[in-house]
């Protein structure tokens, strides 16, 4: 049912990118996102695309898989493209019939905005494809741990993420079971308009919620019985270590950002 979402689906191979410190990968992703937003020209987008190709190659993740992650967002991307195409005005009119006016500026903006979305999703997918969710939540916990001083619940958040990840397959299985059970009783989840189908979800969601709460109660008890008492005095099985590769990767991504900023300052408008 929800099996084809690549986002959050770890692709387990061994590669340089997989071995990077999750903290570093998070930082790299943030820098990459900044770079995507700083980029306003073709040169910038070519640089970003080149970087994505390179990162994808290094991570041994099939490019197809990265593209698959875009599929759930295709409507948003298409909508972004069309809205920008039709509703941006400019000087250089390309097409004009009836009430539709397409300007060169509109077309460029449509291309850039859709590319920006694609790059954002592809970049973050690459993070989740190469970082196991557990490593990711470890990384988030460690990155946020300085905030513990102002009572930010970094450990609790990471624990919640881990547990959520742990229970996604379990709850999916359960959803499937309840769906079958309700279908056997004559429930119909497939036909009717949106409202009818949304209403049909109630007999699915209620038992699912009840069971999720029961599971939560059980799990809390099991955790307590295994001496869980919050993040204090806790050690970790996984200890995060930065290696030389982490710093090289940081160098590469920083260089990418620098190039895009410089290009924006010095070459802006030279090509387009």
Partner 1 sequence: MQMHTDAQILMQDVSFTYDESASPALSHISAKIRQGEFVAVLGHNGSGKSTLAKLINALYIPGEGNVVVCGYDTKNEKLVWEIRRRAGMIFQNPDNQIVATVVKEDVAFGLENLGVPTEEMIPRIEQALSAVRMSKYADSAPHTLSGGQKQRVAIAGILAMEPSVIIADEATAMLDPSGRKEVLETIQMLNRSKGITVLWITHFMEEAALADRVLVVTDGKIQLEGTPAQVFDQVREMKEMHLDVPPMAALADDLRKEGMPLPGGILTVEDMVREVEKVLCPLKSAT
Q: Which is nearer to partner 1, 222 or 270 (CB)?
A: 222
Select the span of 36-44, 149-157, 159-167, 251-259 touching partner 1 (CB under 8 A). Answer: 159-167
Q: Which is nearer to partner 1, 151 or 236 (CB)?
A: 236
Q: Residue 31 has which token pair?
A: 């820098």
Distance of CA 256 to the CA centre of its chain: 21
> Residue 31: how many CA atoms within 13 Å on its side-chain side?
20
Residue whose structure tokens are 């084809």: 4
**One residue of 227, 244, 266, 269 binding partner 1 per CB under 8 A:** 227
- Which stretches of 131-243 are DSSP H helices? 133-144, 154-184, 194-200, 202-225
User: What is the rounded distance in angstroms from the CA atom of residue 102 to the CA atom of residue 97?
Assistant: 9
Site string for partner 1, 58-77 (x = CB under 8 A): --------------------
Q: Are 22 and 145 in contact (CB under 8 A)?
A: no
Tell me, by CB under 8 A, how many residues bind partner 1.
30
Q: Which is nearer to partner 1, 122 or 135 (CB)?
A: 135
Residue with tokens 């973050």: 124
User: What is the distance of C-alpha 218 from the center of its chain?
Assistant: 30
Contact between 2 and partner 1 per CB under 8 A: no
Binding map of partner 1 across residues 187-226, x = CB under 8 A, - = no contact? ---------------------------xx--xx-xxxxxx
Q: Which residues bind partner 1 (CB under 8 A)?
A: 132-134, 162-163, 165-166, 169-170, 173, 214-215, 218-219, 221-229, 233-239
């Amino acid at each position: 049912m929800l099996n084809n979402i690549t986002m959050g689906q770890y692709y387990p191979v061994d590669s340089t990118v997989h071995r990077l410190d999750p903290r570093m990968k998070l930082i790299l992703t943030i820098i990459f996102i900044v770079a995507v937003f700083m980029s306003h020209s073709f040169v910038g987008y070519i640089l970003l695309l080149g970087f994505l190709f390179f990162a994808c190659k290094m991570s041994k993740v099939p490019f197809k898989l990265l593209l698959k992650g875009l599929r759930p967002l295709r409507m948003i991307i298409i909508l972004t493209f069309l809205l920008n195409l039709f509703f941006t005005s400019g000087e250089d009119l390309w097409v004009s019939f009836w009430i539709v006016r397409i300007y060169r500026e509109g077309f460029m903006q449509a291309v850039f905005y859709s590319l920006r979305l694609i790059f954002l999703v592809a970049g973050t997918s690459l993070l989740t494809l190469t970082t196991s969710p557990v490593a990711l939540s470890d990384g988030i916990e460690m990155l946020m741990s300085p905030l513990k001083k102002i009572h930010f619940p970094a450990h609790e958040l990471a624990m919640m993420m881990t547990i959520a990840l742990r229970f996604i397959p379990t709850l999916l299985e359960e959803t499937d079971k309840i769906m079958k059970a309700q279908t056997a009783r004559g429930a119909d989840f497939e036909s009717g308009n949106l409202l009818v189908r949304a209403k049909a979800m109630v007999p699915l969601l209620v038992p699912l919620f009840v069971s999720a709460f029961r599971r939560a109660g059980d799990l809390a008890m099991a955790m307590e019985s295994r001496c869980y008492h919050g993040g204090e005095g806790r050690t970790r099985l996984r200890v995060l270590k930065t290696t030389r590769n982490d710093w090289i990767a940081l160098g590469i991504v920083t260089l990418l950002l620098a190039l895009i900023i410089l290009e924006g300052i010095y070459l802006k408008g030279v090509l387009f």
